[in-house]
């Protein structure tokens, strides 16, 4: 079977996990901090906080950004439900932008038009769909005019770069960036996520929030002394001779158990060493597909002219199924019979029953609706061979042109 996406593991990855298992420190050990530093170094951010999933990262980011009851936060209509759900988790009000027909990312024009009438903006969560960075310069400009925080949903975009060359995750345009470490993403820890930020106050809040809201003064952080540690409410109980008592901790706010384990951190640390080869291979595959689908009637390759900056988490086609005379479901079943897995990214969030009950209507997002009717994600991952790429393209073309 050729799935639409798949992780790649080698013996180094396996041994990295086995080593942690043998050493016995499964969680809250040194590998988590080592991974966080590696991500900060890779992206160019000042801080990184590992969490149990990308969704957990979005949830904590919303809280750390001050999203609460009555806050209006915009994200894109074409995304996984976690992008919007995280706003609800924090108590905010999600709002959706239609997408740009070329980039498939949040339409900043749509956002500006909506804000002309509502004048309500308390946050933006742009989603770098399929790994292609959004227009962060414009999004940052809009957010700044409302003094609103920006949280980049970069679940698809590990390894992607902005047009000027900076790496997604460096937070030059945002307060925080959130990555997913799910197995079909660029690098994996099994399940997991990581948040980057350049703001020390946000960083320390994220550390507390991911572990039950508990604070230990953060004396375990490099260079932290009593003078610059987090505030402890009861220092007389907490400290002896200027040092934290071994048993002491304070729950200072309502947090969560969103920690990443050490063996997961070891796995993704090993994966990070292969991040650039992983990305290079995805770009090779995309170039092959681009050539194979060139000029094929009823098939449009999406994001084709933006290959330089993207991480190519997905390779997306638009197929005019009505013109072809075949339902998408039947095309997907036919491909499955050929051992080719495909997927649709995504059922737009406002189209989901839960969000429809909140009052969102399909007709408010015409570009998203048009894209959704035609979208098909086809296989792209590191281990896909050239022969398999050609096989996938040939089978799709044969079915569409039959």
The whole-model pTM stands at: 0.96
pLDDT at 226 (0 to 100) = 53
Calculate the average pLDDT of the chain: 95
pLDDT at 2 (0 to 100) = 98
Choice between 366 and 220, residue whose per-residue pLDDT is larger: 366
Residue 53 has pLDDT above 60, yes or no: yes
Question: 376: which strand partners?
Answer: 317
pLDDT tens for each residue of 317-369: 999 999 999 999 999 999 999 999 999 999 999 999 999 999 999 999 999 99
**Spatial separation of the C-alpha atoms in residues 331 and 223, rounded to whole Å:** 58
**Spatial separation of the C-alpha atoms in residues 391 and 110, rounded to whole Å:** 39
The DSSP bridge pattern shows strands 250-251 and 93-97 to be: unpaired
Let me know if 312 is exposed, middle or buried by CB neighbors in 10 A (0-12, 13-18, 19+). buried
Q: What 8-state DSSP symbol labels residue 153? A: E
**Spatial separation of the C-alpha atoms in residues 355 and 384, rounded to whole Å:** 37
pLDDT at 243 (0 to 100) = 83
Q: What pLDDT band is residue 221 in, cutting at 50, 70 and 90?
A: low
Q: What pLDDT band is residue 180 in, cutting at 50, 70 and 90?
A: very high
pLDDT tens for each residue of 98-147: 999 999 999 999 999 999 999 999 999 999 999 999 999 999 999 999 99
Neighbour order of strands in the sheet with 93-97? 93-97, 72-76, 123-125
Residue position matching structure tokens 């989901």: 352
For residue 208, give the 3-state DSSP assignment.
Answer: helix
Give the helix/strand (H/E) hosting 75: strand 72-76
Q: What pLDDT band is residue 231 in, cutting at 50, 70 and 90?
A: confident
Find, among 39, 34, 78, the residue nearest to 272 by Cα: 39
pLDDT at 223 (0 to 100) = 56
Which residue segments constitute the domains of the chain, with CATH numbers given?
A: 11-272 (3.40.640.10), 275-342+379-401 (3.90.1150.10)
Residue 242 has pLDDT above 90, yes or no: no
Residue position matching structure tokens 């040092």: 243
Choice between 50 and 24, residue whose per-residue pLDDT is larger: 50
**Angle, to 10 degrees, between the axis of helix 275-292 and the axis of helix 386-401?**
30
**Spatial separation of the C-alpha atoms in residues 263 and 54, rounded to whole Å:** 18
For residue 316, give the 3-state DSSP assignment.
Answer: strand
The DSSP annotation for 174-200 comes to -SEEEEE--TTSSS--SS-EEEEES-H
pLDDT at 360 (0 to 100) = 98
Residue 222 has pLDDT above 70, yes or no: no
**Spatial separation of the C-alpha atoms in residues 88 and 137, rounded to whole Å:** 26
> What is the rounded average pLDDT of the residues 381-398?
98
For residue 376, give the 3-state DSSP assignment.
Answer: strand
Q: What 8-state DSSP symbol labels residue 50? A: E
Residue 367: which region, alpha, beta or left (left: phi > 0; alpha: psi -120 to 50)? alpha
pLDDT at 249 (0 to 100) = 93
**Spatial separation of the C-alpha atoms in residues 78 and 88, rounded to whole Å:** 17
User: Of 114, 185, 274, 302, which one is the catalytic site residue?
Assistant: 185
- 130-167 exposure pattern, b = at least 16 Cβ within 10 A, e = fewer: bbbbbbbebbbebbeeeebbbbbbbbbbbbbbbeeebb
Q: Quick check: is 31 catalytic?
A: no
Find, among 171, 254, 248, the residue nearest to 208 by Cα: 254
pLDDT tens for each residue of 148-164: 999 999 999 999 999 99
Find, among 187, 181, 233, 177, the residue nearest to 208 by Cα: 233
| 187 in Cβ contact with 193 (< 8 Å) | no
Let me know if 79 is exposed, middle or buried by CB neighbors in 10 A (0-12, 13-18, 19+). buried
pLDDT at 225 (0 to 100) = 54
The pLDDT > 90 percentage for the chain reads 91
């Amino acid at each position: 079977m050729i799935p639409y996406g798949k992780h790649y593991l080698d013996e180094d990855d396996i041994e990295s996990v086995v080593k942690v298992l043998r050493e016995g420190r499964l969680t809250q050990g040194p590998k988590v901090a080592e991974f966080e530093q590696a991500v900060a170094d890779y992206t160019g951010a000042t801080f990184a906080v590992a969490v149990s999933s990308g969704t957990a990262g979005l949830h904590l980011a919303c809280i750390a950004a001050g999203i609460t009851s009555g806050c209006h936060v915009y994200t894109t209509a074409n995304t996984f439900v976690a992008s919007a759900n995280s706003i609800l988790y924090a108590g905010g009000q999600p709002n959706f932008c239609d997408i740009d027909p070329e980039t498939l990312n949040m339409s900043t024009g749509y956002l500006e038009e909506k804000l002309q009438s509502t004048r309500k903006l308390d946050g933006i969560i742009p989603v770098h769909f399929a790994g292609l960075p959004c227009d962060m310069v414009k999004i940052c400009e809009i957010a700044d005019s409302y003094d609103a925080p920006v949280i980049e949903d970069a679940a698809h975009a590990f390894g992607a770069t902005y047009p000027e060359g900076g790496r997604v995750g460096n937070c030059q345009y945002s307060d925080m960036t959130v990555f997913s470490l799910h197995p079909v993403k660029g690098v994996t820890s099994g399940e997991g996520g990581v948040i980057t930020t350049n703001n020390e106050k946000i960083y320390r809040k994220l550390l507390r929030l991911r572990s039950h809201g508990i604070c230990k003064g953060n004396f375990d952080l490099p260079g932290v002394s009593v003078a610059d540690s987090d505030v402890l409410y009861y220092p007389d109980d907490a400290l002896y001779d200027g040092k934290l008592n071994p048993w002491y901790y304070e729950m200072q706010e309502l947090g969560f158990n969103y920690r990443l384990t050490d063996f997961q951190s070891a796995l993704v640390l090993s994966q990070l060493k292969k991040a650039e080869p992983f990305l290079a291979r995805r770009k090779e595959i995309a170039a092959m597909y681009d050539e194979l689908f060139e000029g094929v009637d009823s098939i449009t390759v999406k994001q084709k002219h933006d290959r330089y900056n993207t991480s190519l988490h997905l390779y997306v086609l638009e197929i005019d199924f009505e013109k072809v005379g075949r339902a998408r479901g039947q095309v997907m079943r036919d491909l499955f019979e050929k051992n080719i897995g495909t997927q649709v990214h995504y059922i737009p969030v406002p189209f989901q029953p839960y969000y429809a009950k909140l009052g969102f209507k399909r007709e408010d997002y015409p570009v998203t609706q048009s894209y959704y009717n035609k979208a098909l994600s086809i296989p792209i991952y590191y281990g896909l061979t050239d022969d398999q790429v050609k096989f996938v393209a040939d089978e799709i073309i044969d079915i569409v042109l039959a």
